[in-house]
Structures are given as C-alpha cells and as structure tokens.
A = this chain, B = another copy of it.
Amino acid sequence: MVGVIGGGQLARMMNEAATALGLRLRLLAEGPDTSAATVVHDVTVGDYTDPAVVKGFAADCDVITFDHEHVPTALLHDLEDSGIAVRPGPEALVHAQDKVVMRDRLSAFGAPCPVYRVVGDADELVAFGDEHGWPVIAKTSRGGYDGKGVFELAGRDDAAQPFEDLRPGVQVIAEEFVDFRRELSALVARSPSGQAVAYPVSESVQRDGICVETTTPAPGLDDDRAVGIQRLALSIADELGVVGLLAVELMERTDGSVLVNELAMRPHNTGHWSIDGSHTSQFENHLRAVVDLPLGDPATRVRWTVMSNVLGGSVLDLPSALLHCFARDRRLRVQLYGKEVRPGRKVGHVTTYGHDLDEVRERARHAAGYLMGADESTGAGE
C-alpha cells in the first residue's frame, strides 16, 4: 500500500501507473475535488500539515510518497521514527523544500550554482547587488513554486520587496542574475538500493515562472554535454540520498555551461513527456523506486517528443474541446487533470512525438493553444 500525500495532477498520473503495476494507492488530498481525489479509489481528505491527520493516514501504508514538497520536515521525521518508510526521506526532501539548505549543500560538493547569499534585510540585499551587479534574483527559502516566491529586482529601490509578508522562519536568498540562453531539465530516478536511471535531458520553456513547453531531447545539446548533465543529476541524487524522482532544473549559459536552478523530488512537469515518449514514464519509475522495484528504461521511444501545458483560458469544457484537437491530429496524446478551469491554472497537457521537430512542435502548440481558447484563425498558441 503506497500512500501519496497531495491531491494534484502528479498524484493523478501516479495513480494511472500504480494501477498498471497492481499497486494499491491511498491518497491524502487537500479536498474532495482536487485532481487526484476525483479518480483515486481510496481517498482521505485532510490537512497535510496536521500531524494527527498525516499519522493516521500513514498508519495503514507501507510507504509514503508525495505529490508536492510542502509536508513539514519535522512531521516526516516523526513518521520515520514510528517505522513508516518515507520516500524520498526528510533528509533528502529538505533540499527541495528549503532553497538555502539546497544551495549550501550543492555548493559544498561542487555542483555548479549561481553566486548566492542569505540576506537578512533590504540593506544586505542592496550590498549583494552592488557587489555582484543588478538585477538580482531574490527567492524566499520556502514555499515558492511556479514562479511564486521569486523576485527579479532591477535595482536598490526594489530591495524591500522580498521581505514583505515574509512568513516566520522563511529566509531570503539573493542570487546573481544569470543571463541564460535556455532552461534545461535533468530527471533521474533512484531506488533505495542506489540503482538510478537518467532520462534524456529536456529543454523547457517557462513563461511567468510556469513551464509551458518541453522538448526532449534538448535540441542542439551534444552528447558530451548531455551526459555531463545526466551525471550531475545522478550525483546530486546520490549525494542527497534521493529515493524516487529528482528533477534538476538548470540554466544553460551562452557558453554551454549550466547552473542548477531548482530541485524537485517528485515527478515533474518537465517529465510529463515520458508518459508517451519514453519506454518507462517518470510516474512509473517514481513508484518503482518508492516500492523498490528495478527501474525501467528511461530512453526515448521516438526521435522527438514535445509536451505543451494547457493553462486555464476561455475553454471551460476541456473534454468536449478535444473534438477539434483529435479531429486535427490522430496521434495527439492528452492528459486532462479534471480540474476546474481557472485563468493560468495548469489543467492538462498534450504530447506529440515524431521525427520532424518543427512539425511535432506545431502540433503540440496548436492543440494546447486551442484548449486554452486561442483563436484558431490567428495561429493558435504560437
């Protein structure tokens, strides 16, 4: 019995993989209408920050894993102390929960990171900016995702922004502004026994801090660099003792070198392509790692795979809107998350694959654009 904390689309897609493997899955969801809670058979609705709720949920599970990184670290230590397997464990997961812990740890073992400093107030932030140049990227140490908790500060006048409404215990970290060429993502899965596999490196396109498209493998990335990035991700997974999926988001500079941007320890938006484009999806490999089964081949099945996110737009009935998409594209792959459509919300994704990258991209962009309500006559989603 695998317990999953968090009712989002990642848990929803994990559930599809769990069904195939014959694994029983229990869900602790934030509400009855969350993405996974409407499809998982065995659902508990409750607050994942409430120790009584989480401990009660976990008591019947053989192992606990996650849809998100927001469960308090201390609570996960309590679960482990009571003999419940937590994968990834709190010692690893804290690096995806706290950016200060992450930066300090990665820097200590030599993983490439931007220049950074924990800053206690606006004055310290100004000093960092004056020393390393403006703009400065400031991030809150905890609680950020999809662009939230990240600030691009143009100059001294903006230095107070990150400290507004700062929650107790949350720090601000200042980072040099990296003029990167593009973002790359390296996903690896790692078992309790240390077996690990690396997915091909993806290029990801972000808009307003949200992933909108990935291309796998990353175009123009030569084999040496790709292998170097996969090795980096594998070494981080090993160093931190990750069990399950680890996503390493990277910034690629114009000289081809990379810096680690963020870590996530769960299936990741940049790995959704793997459902249709890889021999083993990230969701299946995450579950295999969590229950300690040998990992599956992460290689691509076809030359190019493009995933486009569907963000909430003017189309409210997505299943019906598939009529146009499927009529236009007989090989379009779709995952809808069963969520109420709200502006900008991730409500699904589409995947296309094939041998001609331009054609594969056009198909994905068109379908995602159509599902977001783009006017078809103007070139949807381009």
List residues of A whose CB falls within 8 A of some B CB: 12, 15-16, 19-24, 38-41, 43, 279-280, 288, 291, 293-297, 301-302, 318-319, 322-323, 326-327, 330-332, 334-338, 348
Q: List 12 A-B contacts (CB under 8 A).
A: A16-B19, A21-B322, A21-B334, A22-B318, A22-B334, A24-B38, A24-B338, A40-B41, A291-B319, A294-B323, A294-B327, A295-B326
Q: Which residue of B lies closest to A23 (CB)?
A: B319
- Interface residues of A, dominant DSSP: loop
Q: Which residues of B contact A293 (CB under 8 A)?
A: 319, 322-323, 326
- What separation, in Å, do the CA atoms of A24 and B35 have in the docked complex? 12
Q: Which residues of B contact A19 (CB under 8 A)?
A: 12, 15-16, 39, 338
CB distance from A308 to the nearest CB of B (A): 15
A303 to chain B, nearest CB (A): 13
CB atoms of A338 and B296 under 8 A apart = no
Residues of chain B within 8 A (CB-CB) of A338 are: 19, 22, 24
How many angstroms from the CA of A151 to the CA of B350 in the assembled complex? 49
- Provide the residues of chain B in CB contact with A327, threshold 8 Å: 294
CB of A334 within 8 A of CB of B20, answer: yes
Residues of B within 8 A of A318 (CB): 22
Residue of B nearest to A22 (CB): B336
Chain B residues near A20 (CB-CB < 8 A): 16, 334-336
Measured CA separation A319–B288 after assembly (Å): 10
List the B side residues contacting A21 at CB < 8 Å.
319, 322, 334, 336
Taking CB as reference atom, which chain B residue is nearest A319?
B22
- Residues in chain B near residue A302, CB distance under 8 A: 301
Chain B positions within 8 Å of A295 at CB level = 326, 330
Contacts of A326 in B (CB 8 A): 288, 293-296
